Amino acid sequence: MKRWCQWGLLLGSLALVSAVSGVVSAHAEETIAEAQPPLPEASLTITDQAGHGHVFTVELARTPHQQEVGEMFRKQIAPDHGMLFVWPAPQESAMWMRNTFVSLDMVFIDEQNRIHAIEEHTTPLSEGIISSHGPVRAVLELPAGTTERLGLVVGDRITSSALPGEVH
């Protein structure tokens, strides 16, 4: 999935203004034609309102390029897996589903490592903007239906060594 924060602008189909790193810069949009190789992984736990911990293995999209490609062209995501995008500082985040064939649940994570917002069952291949509805420090993508199946809601706690402020 192509990522850019809300401050960014898509200029036609050839240029992308990116503020993911906190520095606005324009560059020609490259053609992404295939899924990226598996990224480094970390464990992530979401503790729900009842105190149950739900453990996931998440790929870490750390670089702007890894974040731009995201889940593009992948045909499936294992039920207990996902992808985590951590921003250098809390920011408004906007995502889309360009070239993404599988529906996702997007979990927006605030500065206290709690769920700030959830977008369930995203539409594959859509270029519609999916907003964080406020500043977030990270976005977690899970297979569609995961948040509903597990009863995850705004305020649930997320822990992972990949998140700022977490010590493991």
24 compared with 136, residue with greater pLDDT: 136
CATH of the domain at 135: 2.60.120.1140
Measured in whole angstroms, how far is the alpha carbon of residue 150 from the centre of its chain? Answer: 18
| Residue 164 placed within a domain | no
Domain count, the chain: 1
| Residue 66 placed within a domain | yes
Rounded to the nearest integer, the mean pLDDT of the chain is 84
82 compared with 11, residue with greater pLDDT: 82
Q: What is the DSSP letter of 29?
A: P
The parent domain of residue 31 ranges over: 3-159
| Residue 152 placed within a domain | yes
The yes-or-no verdict on residue 68 having pLDDT over 80 is yes
| Residue 7 placed within a domain | yes
pTM over 0.75: yes
Rounded mean pLDDT of 125-149?
97
Residues 99-131 have pLDDT tens digits of 999 999 999 999 999 999 999 999 999 999 999
Percent of the chain with pLDDT over 90: 77
* Residue 151: count of CB within 10 angstroms of its CB: 12
| Residue 167 placed within a domain | no
CB contact at 8 A, 166 and 138:
no
d(CA 66, CA 80): 21
| Residue 39 placed within a domain | yes
Residue 18 pLDDT: 30
The yes-or-no verdict on residue 23 having pLDDT over 50 is no
The yes-or-no verdict on residue 20 having pLDDT over 70 is no
